[in-house]
């Protein structure tokens, strides 16, 4: 029971621990097993401290998380076909805790991208659009001139990179050149 308690607004997955029945009565989107309350589906936690109730709202019904919304987040992992993004802002609203989003390699650019790490690096700030909200994860796309990396840092020295032509970024500190799928708003997007 050392896991951190999810707060109101936290994103949880089925089976995530929410608390014990001595603290809260389980409500919609939760179940009780041996006095411990778990999430029965993916969604947003809502804790009513006055009524001492906990419930999980399916995140499809969360007003900002919908197809077409623009998001701003940080790339936290790049794999063989997927990039993971911690979404910090949705539809211009800052979230109290980040949601997880994924960008499939085919959804990075209109141009062929061999692997996610050719377009994104961990720590990049990306602007993306929600294209699907169905399973546990929010699916994102950066296809389009205005979408993609809006801020990136040199992988050698950590300085912010300056945009050059053709998606090439250069480091004014060490001269390192790196490639990304950048947005035309690179360096200008409001964070």
Q: Which residues bind Zn ion (CB under 5 A)?
A: 154, 156-157, 159, 171, 173-174, 176
Long-range contacts of residues 20-24, Cβ cutoff 8 Å, at least 24 apart = 23/52, 24/52, 24/53, 24/54
Least Å distance, CB 172 to Zn ion, is 8
- When the beta carbons of 67 and 156 are compared against Zn ion, the nearer one is 156
Tell me the DSSP string of 145-172. Answer: TT-EEEE-B-TTT-PBEEE-GGGEEEET
- When the beta carbons of 81 and 174 are compared against Zn ion, the nearer one is 174
* 87 vs 72: CA distance, rounded Å: 6
- When the beta carbons of 146 and 159 are compared against Zn ion, the nearer one is 159
Least Å distance, CB 179 to Zn ion, is 14
- When the beta carbons of 137 and 152 are compared against Zn ion, the nearer one is 152
Least Å distance, CB 134 to Zn ion, is 40
Least Å distance, CB 175 to Zn ion, is 7
CA angle 133, 191, 84 (to 5 degrees): 40
* Closest to 158 measured CA to CA, from 142, 174, 145: 174
């Amino acid at each position: 029971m050392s896991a951190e308690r999810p707060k109101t607004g936290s994103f949880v997955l089925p089976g995530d621990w929410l608390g014990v029945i001595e603290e809260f009565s389980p409500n919609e989107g939760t179940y009780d097993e041996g006095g411990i309350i778990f999430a029965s589906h993916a969604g947003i936690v809502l804790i009513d401290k006055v009524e001492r109730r906990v419930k999980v709202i399916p995140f499809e019904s969360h007003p900002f998380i919908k197809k077409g919304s623009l998001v701003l987040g940080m790339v936290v992992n790049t794999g063989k076909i997927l990039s993971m993004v911690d979404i910090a802002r949705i539809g211009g609203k800052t979230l109290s805790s980040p949601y997880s989003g994924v960008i499939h390699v085919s959804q990075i650019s209109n141009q062929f991208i061999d692997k996610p790490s050719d377009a994104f690096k961990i720590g990049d700030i990306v602007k993306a659009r929600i294209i699907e909200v169905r399973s546990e994860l929010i699916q994102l796309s950066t296809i389009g001139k205005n979408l993609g990396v809006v801020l990136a840092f040199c992988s050698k020295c950590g300085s912010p990179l300056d945009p050059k032509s053709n998606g090439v970024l250069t480091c004014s500190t060490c001269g390192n050149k790196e490639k990304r799928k950048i947005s035309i708003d690179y360096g200008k997007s409001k964070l």
